[in-house]
Structures are given as structure tokens and as C-alpha cells.
Amino acid sequence: MKKEKKEKTKKLTKKNKKKIAIIAGIITVVIVAIIGITIAIINNNEKNKNIDPETEFVEIDAEGNKRNISEKLKETKTFGNMEMNNIELTAKKNVSLLKANFTNKGEETEKEKIVTVEILNKKKEVISSFDTVINKMDPGETIEFSMNITEDISNAYDLTIKEKY
């Protein structure tokens, strides 16, 4: 009877060892996964900390000239029969240059217009606003537009344009 008990104890011990080894393996995998996820989160947070909100949408060259790289800003804007595209925004020494093409997409001549351009940040808040004139345009006509703005708005996310009157 003692022999039978010892053999059962040995068998249980072998089974227990296997179970313990499996459980230990599972726990190890879970711990490694948690550590890996934690490290990934920390690294991602560090990358986000390095994005300067003042230059998030800006490339700066060796001379300090800034060029806006926001894809949203570059999208074609439409107001009435007018279309604004090929938008470029640059800045140098706190003076910004806004360039774009305006096209009359309508079938009638568009008279001279005063428009308001609003420069928006990522939260779609207005960070600057100015009025400008768009000259008379015949149907299908495209004009190049260029304007200096006496502030650095190069980090704009988007812009809106609407006829003032």
C-alpha cells in the first residue's frame, strides 16, 4: 500500500510539474506582452511630445524659411462659382506669403470681389483673418494670386474663403 501511495504521489507530482510549467509559461508570455505594450505606449507618447504645435505643419529649411505642408490647406476651396487651388503658404522673418490660383468655374463674368480669408489651426479655430480683392474674371479664366501677410501663419492647418460683399 505504501508503494501504491508513493507511485500516485510521483505521478501527481509529474502532472503538477507539467501544469506548473504551462502556467509559468503563460504568465511569462503575459508579462512580456504587458511590458512590450507599455514600452510602445511610452515611445508613442515621447514621439507626440516632440511635435511642436508651432511647427506641426511646417518644414523649415537651412536658411530658416518655412513652408506649410498641411494636406488640408492644399485642398481645393470653392466659394460661389470661384475655385481656389494650388495653395502655397510660406514664411520668412515673420512675413507670410500666400499664393494660389483662382478660377471662375461659372458661365458668367465674375465682378471684382472682396473676400475674407480665415486661417485655421488644427482645432478649426481662426488664428488670423484678412480681406483681399479678387479682380474681375471671365468664365473659365484663372488668375494667380499672391499676398504678403505681416505675421507668421505658416503653421496653418486649413483656410476658408468667403465673399465679404
Q: What is the pLDDT of residues 113-124, one digit of tens each?
A: 899 999 999 999
84-97 average pLDDT score:
94
- Look at 5 and 26; give whichever has higher pLDDT: 26
92-105 average pLDDT score:
93
pLDDT > 60? residue 7: no
pLDDT, position 41: 76
pLDDT, position 29: 85
144 Cβ contact partners less than 8 Å away, ≥ 6 residues apart: 99, 100, 101
Half-sphere exposure of 160 (CA within 13 A, CB side): 13
Mean pLDDT (the chain) is 85
pLDDT, tens only, 42-77: 766 554 444 445 678 999 999 989 999 999 999 999
Helix (H, G, I), strand (E, B) or coil at 28: helix
What is 58-163's CATH number?
Answer: 2.60.40
Burial 103-126 (b: 16+ CB within 10 A, else e): bbeeeeebeebebebbbbbeeeee
CB 115 within 8 A of CB 163: yes
pLDDT, position 48: 42
- Look at 15 and 130; give whichever has higher pLDDT: 130
Percent of the chain with pLDDT over 70: 85
pLDDT, position 6: 54
pTM (2 d.p.): 0.66
Q: How is the chain classified by DSSP, letter by letter?
A: -HHHHHHHHHHHHHHHHHHHHHHHHHHHHHHHHHHHHHHHHHHHHHHHHT--TTTTTEEE-TT--EEE--HHHHS-EEETTEEEEEEEEEEETTEEEEEEEEEE-SSSPBPPEEEEEEEE-TT--EEEEEEEEE--B-TT-EEEEEEEESS--TT--EEEEEE--
Q: What are the boundaries of each domain within the chain?
A: 1-50, 58-163
- Look at 87 and 165; give whichever has higher pLDDT: 87
24-33 average pLDDT score:
85
* 71: phi then psi, degrees, rounded to nearest 5: -65, -35
